[in-house]
């Protein structure tokens, strides 16, 4: 990480696990950091990473109380403060990744530092420095602006959707911390607005950059995995309806190869992504007056999707094959919603038709 921060008199100490930001005059902070929540004054800001740990504490949900977990985190961080000789009062961010893995964007008088980790769940911490003295009202506005910018970046990168990421299902130690040089009674509306827009742009850019390093945006295989579909399951489903000939390993291998090949077709990918988006909208009842929870008989656009996928891969014969897979719903296809069962039935039917093409 570059050590240049928009506040010139900040001093930075860094080792493999811990980065310490401090200044003689301290910081006025606002945020929900692991330690130092709310609006407060601190001398130091500490970002500590737990290398090679998926979670900061080895507990499963319900094993111990939330209060016990919070207290142990604070005790752990206080031990770090003593060991590193950190000047208190201090705020701290506890990360399940190495603290050195930052993405940093500097834009005039704002610096955004983002730490992301795409493990069992997406973890993200955001630390923003503002080279100004601010009042509490402005700090609250900037905290909201940072959250808005984070969510905008999640949307930009395709992270937010019902199947892959619920913004409320995050690591409990995720942090957003904003640090200004100090407090003042006078911040004009124009100054407040300018800083807010600067923070939104800077945080959005930094989060986008950090998510890019975590593997976003995702490819079609990752989107399929979000809805519980992997290629091997599709191969199993395809093999279930093979009749009249021996089910050989060669057929399985050819089918798998064909599925991967078909997933390179932009039109096939378009139908799959459209199906995933539509399934989510239906499941969340986002369209007033539309309820397809029981897969009503009058809903046939899903079958049009399925037939279109099959036809794109192997033409008219695949459409007839699609009807077999749509009616039998073998394997993984039977576990999908009213749109995706047809989309993936079409994918399997098209690929099977292509495998046996003469």
Count of domains for the chain: 2
Note whether 85 and 200 are same-domain residues. yes
pLDDT of residue 4: 77
**Contacts of 283 by beta carbon, 8 Å cutoff, 6+ apart:** 162, 337
pLDDT of residue 1: 46
pLDDT of residue 215: 85
Structural domain boundaries enclosing 141: 11-213
Is 271 inside any structural domain? yes
Is 313 inside any structural domain? yes
Three-class secondary structure of residue 271 per DSSP: helix
Q: What is the mean pLDDT of each run of 10 residues along the chain (358 residues)?
A: 78 89 95 90 92 57 77 87 91 80 90 86 90 95 95 85 62 82 92 95 95 90 93 97 92 97 97 93 87 82 95 95 95 95 97 89
What gap in Å lies between CA 28 and CA 258, rounded to an integer?
59
pLDDT of residue 346: 97
122 in Cβ contact with 170 (< 8 Å): yes
Note whether 171 and 96 are same-domain residues. yes
Say how far residue 149 (Cα) sits from the centre of its chain: 14
* Positive or negative: CA dihedral 155, 160, 161, 167: negative
Q: Which of 176, 191, 213 is the endpoint of a domain?
A: 213
Q: Which of 184, 213, 242 is the endpoint of a domain?
A: 213
pLDDT of residue 150: 92
Q: How buried is 123 (Cβ within 10 angstroms: 0-12 exposed, 13-18 middle, 19+ buried)?
A: buried
Note whether 172 and 225 are same-domain residues. no
Is 2 inside any structural domain? no
Instruction: Classify residue 216 by its DSSP letter.
Output: P
Q: Which of 176, 197, 213 is the endpoint of a domain?
A: 213
Task: Give the helix/strand (H/E) hosting 279.
Answer: helix 266-283
Q: What is the CATH number of the domain that holds 124?
A: 3.60.70
**Contacts of 241 by beta carbon, 8 Å cutoff, 6+ apart:** 324, 325, 328, 330, 352
Is 5 inside any structural domain? no
Q: Are strands 110-118 and 175-183 parallel, antiparallel or unpaired?
A: unpaired
pLDDT of residue 65: 82
Is 251 inside any structural domain? yes
Per the DSSP assignment, residues forming a β-bridge with 39 are 30
35, 112, 122, 248, 290 from 61: Cα distances, Å: 21, 32, 17, 45, 36
Is 1 inside any structural domain? no
Q: Nearest-CA neighbor of 216 among 165, 292, 265?
A: 165
């Amino acid at each position: 990480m570059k050590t240049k921060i928009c506040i010139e008199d900040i001093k930075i100490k860094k080792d493999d696990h811990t980065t310490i930001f401090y200044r003689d005059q301290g910081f006025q902070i606002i945020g929900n950091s692991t330690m130092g929540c709310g609006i407060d004054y601190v001398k130091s800001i500490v970002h500590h990473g737990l290398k090679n740990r998926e979670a900061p504490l080895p507990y499963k949900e319900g094993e111990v109380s939330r209060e016990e977990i919070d207290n142990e985190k604070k005790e752990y961080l206080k031990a770090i403060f003593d060991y590193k000789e950190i000047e208190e009062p201090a705020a701290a961010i506890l990360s399940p990744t190495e603290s050195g893995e930052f993405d940093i964007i500097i834009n005039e008088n704002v610096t955004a530092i983002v730490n992301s980790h795409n493990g069992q769940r997406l973890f993200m911490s955001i630390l923003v420095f503002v080279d100004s003295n601010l009042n509490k009202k402005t700090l609250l506005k900037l905290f909201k602006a940072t959250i808005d910018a984070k969510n905008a970046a999640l949307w930009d990168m395709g992270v937010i959707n019902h199947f892959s990421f619920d913004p409320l299902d995050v690591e409990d130690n995720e942090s957003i911390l904003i640090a200004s040089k100090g407090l003042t009674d006078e911040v004009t509306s124009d100054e407040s607005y300018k800083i807010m827009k600067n923070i939104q742009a800077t945080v959005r850019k930094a989060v986008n950059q950090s998510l890019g390093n975590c593997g976003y945006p995702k490819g079609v295989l990752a989107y399929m995995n979000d809805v519980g579909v992997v290629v091997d399951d599709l191969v199993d489903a395809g093999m279930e309806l093979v009749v009249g000939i021996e089910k050989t390993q060669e057929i399985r291998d050819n089918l798998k190869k064909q599925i991967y090949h078909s997933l390179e077709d932009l039109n096939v990918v378009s139908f799959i992504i459209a199906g995933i988006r539509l399934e989510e909208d239906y499941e969340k009842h986002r369209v007033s007056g539309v309820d397809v929870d029981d897969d009503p008989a009058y809903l046939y656009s899903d079958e049009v999707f399925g037939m279109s996928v099959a036809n794109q891969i192997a033409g008219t014969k695949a459409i007839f094959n699609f009807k077999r897979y749509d009616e039998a719903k073998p394997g993984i296809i039977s576990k999908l919603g009213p749109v995706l069962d047809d989309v993936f039935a079409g994918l399997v039917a098209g690929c099977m038709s292509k495998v046996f093409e003469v």
